[in-house]
């Protein structure tokens, strides 16, 4: 009697890159994985958690560069899920935040493949590791998470609305749109809004710069910032400095 292999695809978020930020469930699944289809932003330290006999297949997309077509990724999902029981689709950050994870969920479902989604810490939460909270009472009323590069190459249309709000704005894949981002804020009289670029958030090679949003392009060039990076815009960027200044002032010694 031949036992049919249970077809299961595990769509897992690897977080911002540092393996310490993996969820326990993601860690446990990786430790027993048989096949891992991994993206460009998945760190080697995380891949090293897989068993020695685990087959690792690169299906990444370099920003604005070479990439594995989605149709090819779908073909690999179908191929391996029909042959193995623990097939992992490993993505950077969280698969459902600009990671096209749900597109692959839909494809697998059409083939009758069971899918389990294991969330990952999004790269935008790397701001908190750098003492920049996404929200803070009296400072930020919410969070806008926008893509800097839609499928047609355009900036997210919601940036115009986000720039007029009192919320923190996080932009993924926006390094080619710095001039456009700055212009949008300047046109709405908010060119002096604090901003930050965080490259390789939480990783040992992390870089971070801060500036007014109007100076994003110039500051990025001066410090040779590159992909992958997230852009943070809002008064939460300077919150730590403002609080420190307030504490020092409140505790000043008067002679």
SS3 for 136? strand
State the DSSP code for 237. Answer: G
What Rg do the C-alpha atoms of the chain give, in angstroms? 21
Pick the closest to residue 204 from 41, 50, 17 (CA basis): 17
* Rounded average pLDDT over 48-75: 87
Q: What local confidence, expressed as pLDDT, does residue 146 receive? A: 96
Question: Would the pLDDT of 148 be above 50?
Answer: yes
pTM: 0.88
Burial class of residue 15 (count of CB atoms within 10 Å of its CB; 0-12, 13-18, 19+): buried
Name beta bridge partners: 12.
Answer: 90, 118
Choice among 6, 20, 25, 39 that is catalytic: 39
Residue 31 falls in the annotated catalytic set: no
* Rounded average pLDDT over 4-21: 88
Residue 39 falls in the annotated catalytic set: yes
Among the ranges 9-23, 56-70, 236-250, which has the highest mean pLDDT value? 9-23
214: tokens are 């109007």
Q: What local confidence, expressed as pLDDT, does residue 254 receive? A: 39
Choice among 56, 61, 190, 207 that is catalytic: 61
131: tokens are 């003492």
Average pLDDT of the chain to the nearest whole number: 90
CB half-sphere exposure, 198, CA atoms < 13 A: 24
Question: Would the pLDDT of 249 be above 90?
Answer: no
Question: pLDDT category, 60, cuts 50, 70, 90?
Answer: confident
Least confident interval from 17-21, 61-65, 131-135, 163-167 = 61-65
Cα three-residue angle 96-97-101, rounded to 5 degrees: 30
Q: What local confidence, expressed as pLDDT, does residue 240 receive? A: 81
Burial class of residue 110 (count of CB atoms within 10 Å of its CB; 0-12, 13-18, 19+): exposed
């Amino acid at each position: 009697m031949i036992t049919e292999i249970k077809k299961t695809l595990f769509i897992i978020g690897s977080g911002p890159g540092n393996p310490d930020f993996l969820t326990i469930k993601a860690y446990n699944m990786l430790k027993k994985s048989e096949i891992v289809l991994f993206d460009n932003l998945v760190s080697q330290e995380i891949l090293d958690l897989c068993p020695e006999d685990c087959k690792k297949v690169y299906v990444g997309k370099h920003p604005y560069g070479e990439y594995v077509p989605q149709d090819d990724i779908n073909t690999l999902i179908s191929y391996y899920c029909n042959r193995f029981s623990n097939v992992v689709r490993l993505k950077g950050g969280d698969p459902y935040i600009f990671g096209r994870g749900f597109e692959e969920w839909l494809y697998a479902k059409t083939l009758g493949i069971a899918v389990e989604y294991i969330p990952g810490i999004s790269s935008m939460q790397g701001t908190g590791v750098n003492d920049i909270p996404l929200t803070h009472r009296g400072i930020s009323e919410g969070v806008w998470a926008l893509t800097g590069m839609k499928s047609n190459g355009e900036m997210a249309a919601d940036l115009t609305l986000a720039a007029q709000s009192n919320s923190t704005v996080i932009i993924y894949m926006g390094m080619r749109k710095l001039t456009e981002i700055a212009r949008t804020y300047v046109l709405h009289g908010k060119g002096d809004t604090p901003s930050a670029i965080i490259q390789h958030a939480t990783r040992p090679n992390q870089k971070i710069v801060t500036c007014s949003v109007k100076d994003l392009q110039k500051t990025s060039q001066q410090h040779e910032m590159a992909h992958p990076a997230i852009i943070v815009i809002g008064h939460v960027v300077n919150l730590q400095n403002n609080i420190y200044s307030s504490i020092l002032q409140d505790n000043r010694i008067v002679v």
